[in-house]
Amino acid sequence: MPLTGRWTLTRYLIEERRRFPDASGDLNALLLDVALACKAIARRVAFGGLVDAPAAGTVNVQGETQQPLDVMSNDIFLRMNEWNGQLAGLASEEMEAPAQIPATYPRGKYLLVFDPLDGSSNIDVNVAVGSIFSILRAPPDAIETGRDVVEADFLQPGTQQVAAGYAIYGPSTMLVLTVGNGVAGFTLNPDLGEFVLTHPKLAVPPEAREFAINSSNSRFWEPPVKRYVDECLAGRTGPRGKDFNMRWIASLVAEAHRIMMRGGVFLYPRDLREPSKPGRLRLLYEANPIGLLIEQAGGRASTGRQPVLGVQPSALHQRIGVVLGSRDEVERIERYHTDPSERGPETPLFAERSLFRD
């Protein structure tokens, strides 16, 4: 089928819809509005410090200092998607509670969750940032009665996602999308103002020679993670028998995009710095949509102990540990977590009889 470089996002969605003759077209309309929001954000990101934006310094629900473009991007997502009649409600990393559809607009059957500007701490140094989104079905009673959505409506495991994607704002702007039939990548053609299909069947290679992790946290890593990284660093003379390169961009979108393009593994695992917190990445806004994309592209997304997409959310802003990328590498890390024979020697600090013994 002659896809590459010829189809716009609109045509791609129409062709996907034809696989389901009874589909209403609501999902297509919603995805096109999400894409429009991404185009608007890409334009503002490209202007960098030239944009007049709200002052930074406020703190969001995550306890993180908001950048000016965080606030602007969140507002763009809201304003471009609340009016279309496809949504029952929205939730964002930047807002404490779900956003309701204004009474002047009709309500629909989907929920939109999003991270409006992932990696915004990189803006000042001109490193790629992006937007992440996930679409869920609203509960039947919310659709039938038109009631306001509540937090519990959004607490659906990643397997329930209808569609997911991200936009990356780098040297070019790309939209990477899944509607449950593999992963497709679209590049924004600035002459046309349209996303054009350039990567029709993205696939994550099963093996890898690259890994990404924040090594400054190594003193807090659990033994299985430390073992994996040590083996990679040992190179061809170590147990893996090959050399690895290490990467770290501190932007989930940029890390996931590199894996989509050429494979590798990304680790932001649970660690022992704050034992009460199971991880750093947000489950609904980051781990689930990126996890669905990776799995649809033939990779694997895990917490190290179980598939990310199988985790039942317990809170709107729940955090989680994440290991995702090339399937063989992620499965190896999972074995190190679950199989005692694969864990390697425990360090004295974490052994059964340790510094914390009675």
Which tens digits make up the pLDDT trace of 161-194? Answer: 999 999 999 999 999 999 999 999 999 999 999 9
For residue 237, the domain's CATH number is 3.40.190.80
Q: Residue 205 falls within a domain, yes or no?
A: no
Q: Do residues 123 and 252 both lie within one domain? A: no
101, burial (CB in 10 Å: exposed 0-12, middle 13-18, buried 19+): buried
With H, G, I as helix, E, B as strand and everything else as coil, classify residue 90.
Answer: strand
Q: Please indicate, yes or no, if residue 4 is contained in any of the structural domains.
A: no
Inside any domain, residue 2: no
The reply to whether 42 and 164 lie within a common domain is yes
State the CATH number of the domain containing residue 37. 3.30.540.10
| Domain tally, the chain | 2
Pairing, β 281-282 against β 129-137: unpaired
149 and 18 within one domain: yes
Question: Do residue 236 and residue 188 come from a single domain?
Answer: no
pLDDT at res. 339: 76
The reported pLDDT for the residue numbered 344 is 47
What Å distances lie between residue 27 and 38, 140, 186, 282, CA to CA?
Answer: 17, 16, 18, 24
Domain presence at residue 118: yes
The helix (run of H) or strand (run of E) holding residue 253 is helix 252-262
Distance CA 263, CA 218 (A): 23
Cβ atoms 96, 227 nearer than 8 A? no
Both 187 and 285 in one domain: the answer is no
Q: Do 19 and 121 fall within a single domain? A: yes
* Domain containing residue 189: 9-199
What is residue 358's predicted lDDT score, i.e. its pLDDT?
A: 35
Query: Is residue 195 domain-shared with residue 229, that is, in the same domain?
Result: no
* 336 and 314 housed in the same domain: yes
Residues 164 and 24 grouped into a single domain? yes
Q: Encode pLDDT of 99-111 as tens digits.
A: 999 999 999 999 9
Q: Where are the beta strands (DSSP E) in the chain?
A: 87-92, 99-100, 110-118, 129-137, 163-169, 173-178, 184-189, 194-199, 210-212, 245-247, 265-268, 281-282, 300-302, 319-320, 322-325
pLDDT < 50 positions in the chain: 1-5, 343-358
Residue 251 lies in a domain: yes
- Write down which residue in 144, 176, 199 finishes a domain: 199
* Whether residues 43 and 100 fall in one domain: yes
Q: Which of 176, 199, 222 is the last residue of a domain?
A: 199
Other CB atoms closer than 10 Å to residue 143's CB: what's the count? 15
Kindly write down the DSSP assignment for every residue of 42-83, as one continuous string. HHHHHHGGGS--PPS--B-TTS-BPPHHHHHHHHHHHHHHSS
Query: What are the φ/ψ torsions at residue 130 (nearest 5 degrees)?
Result: -165, 180
The reply to whether 356 falls in a domain is no
Round to whole Å and give the CA distance between 265 and 252: 12
223 in a structural domain: yes
Cβ atoms of 286 and 94 within 8 Å: the answer is no
Looking at the fold, whether 143 and 223 belong to one and the same domain comes out as: no
Q: What pLDDT is stored for residue 56 in this prediction?
A: 52
Which residue among 169, 199, 229 closes a domain? 199
In terms of domains, do 239 and 188 share one?
no
Q: Tell me, what DSSP letter sits at residue 192?
A: T
In a domain, 204, yes or no: no
Handedness of CA 193, 42, 282, 103 (dihedral sign): negative
